[in-house]
Structure 1
Amino acid sequence: MDHMTALIDQNARFADLVTDADETTEVPTCPGWTLKQLFRHVGRGDRWSAQIISDRIGEYLDPREVRDGKPPADPEGALAWLREGPAILRDAIDSIGPNTYVWTFWGPRPAEWWVRRRLHEATMHRADAALALGRPYDLSPDLAADGIEEWIDTVAAPRPTLDPGVTVHLHTTDTEGEWMLRGEEDRVVWEVGHGKGDLAVRGPATELFLALLNRREGALEIFGDETIWTSWRERARF
């Protein structure tokens, strides 16, 4: 999958979605945020990761220190600012090389890691905006399945979000995506593939993606211990 092309598209679709929307609209899936704050978060996030890369910053960067971190006051300028974010990230990666290791939440990783992270920040927050505005939300099954795997690797796996020995099987019904996860003392280990878990959850990729992100409950089939499903998603909030 071309994550950069997908990121450019998702940012553009986010911009189209919020054009002419009331920026004071509350975003229920991001408590305390308005649409204006959500918009700024998405656009600044691309620049934030780009600055970490281009400046070779070795620790967490305060978002208040991000260059050009606030959108212009005029609506057209603000929309252009949002759409420009992926290109700024791409240029930062090109400046040092995609395989050069840089700071991330979970230790040094190749610079191109940030593209996939920013992509699914955009897919998630576009859902937030759509839900806040009462608009439909669509995501291709393959992109949603990629989002599930990125969520597993970035959000669920580096922390003890499952109790030791607890196993979970995730299965998308409209792609070939299947994953097995097992809790350990300080993390969750996972692999692609089929297996039997204490909990199994299956359904369309987009619905499973949004449910894992605690955005909405979709048409999912749940087998086994449903308390694992509830507690796991709560412990894996990010």
Structure 2
Amino acid sequence: MTLLSYDRYCDEIAYQVDELRSLLASGADLSGTVPTCPDWTLEELVRHMGGALRWVEALVRTRALENLPDDAVPLAKGPKEQGDPAALDAWLAETGRTVVDTLREAGPDTKVWTWAGILDTGFWARRMTHEITIHRADAALAAGRPYEVAADVAADAVDEWLQIVEFIQRKKATPDAPELRGPGRSIHLHATDGDPGLNAEWVIELTEEGVTWRRGHEKAAVALRGPLTSVLLAFYSRLPLDSPELEVLGERELLEFWLTQATFG
């Protein structure tokens, strides 16, 4: 497994912000519920995403060595105007420019606080890339718009998600984390499209010692097959397993169990 370059992450954040802005400009209903995040309207989703980017920008700009509270981040909650597409778009545009400029200025190795023990800006560039990649999918699904993501970004998003689950499970950071331990359970993710050189297949094992994973093609108790974008969205619980482009082979209950238990908490 190889990380994408730092510049690639910065470029992708900028691209995803522009794509999210384009979706808003298309006339999407800001008051509509986001099916994959049903506690939010589309406007609340955008404010959450922009706030996360602004929080990371503040962490990196100030070289913070401990967490920053939301009230220490200017405009973290978005513009004062509610239900105003123009104000929301202007805020999101400024947010994207600012966070990307700050990340580029800092470079990948600047020391800064993170919640995962990887104390550098490279962590945040990668984390925000995949945070907005998935939340743009939420927005697209809410607006009934098509969604695609570059293959290298999608594959890295699966890698990062597995690493986060490993971290949370190892630290027992959520009440459900120990439930992922156990003998003889394995999951295979298989992207059926894209560049064969990308090796977009994963094997996940739930062992007594914890969750382990690797890239590769191996037989497992259950397999999830389909186009890479669809596999990514299903693995993030953004796409139902019975979607026509997906195929589940073997112990479906195990995959459903994983999707329930493997969360940020």
Q: Same fold (TM over 0.5)?
A: yes
Distance in 2 (CA, whole Å) between partners of 1:59 and 1:237 is 24
TM-score (norm 1): 0.88
Q: Which residue identity does 1:3 align to in structure 2? A: Y
Distance in 1 (CA, whole Å) between partners of 2:214 and 2:42 is 36
Cα shift at 1:95: 4.6
Aligned to 1:230: 256
Aligned to 1:109: 119
Q: Which residue identity does 1:13 align to in structure 2? A: E
Cα shift at 1:225: 1.6
Listed one character per residue, the Cα deviations across residues 68-103 of structure 1 (whole Å, up to 9, x for unaligned) are 213333533421321233432233334543113322
Aligned with 1:159 (options 128, 147, 168): 168
Distance in 2 (CA, whole Å) between partners of 1:187 and 1:61 is 31
Distance in 2 (CA, whole Å) between partners of 1:30 and 1:141 is 24
The 1:96/1:131 distance shift into structure 2, 3 A limit, reads closer
Aligned to 2:68: 61
Aligned to 1:221: 247
Task: Tell me the C-alpha RMSD between the 2 structures.
Answer: 2.2
Aligned to 1:46: 53
| Matched residue count | 237
Which segments of 5 or more consecutive residues in structure 2 lack a partner in the other structure? 170-176
Identical residues among aligned pairs (%): 38
Distance in 1 (CA, whole Å) between partners of 2:159 and 2:193 is 15
TM-score (norm 2): 0.80
Distance in 2 (CA, whole Å) between partners of 1:140 and 1:95 is 25
The 1:69/1:3 distance shift into structure 2, 3 A limit, reads same
Q: Aligned runs of 1:140-151 on 2, under 5 Å?
A: 140-151=150-161
Distance in 2 (CA, whole Å) between partners of 1:17 and 1:186 is 44
Cα shift at 1:200: 2.0
Q: Aligned runs of 1:128-139 on 2, under 5 Å?
A: 128-139=138-149
Which segments of 5 or more consecutive residues in structure 1 lack a partner in the other structure? none
The 1:184/1:58 distance shift into structure 2, 3 A limit, reads farther
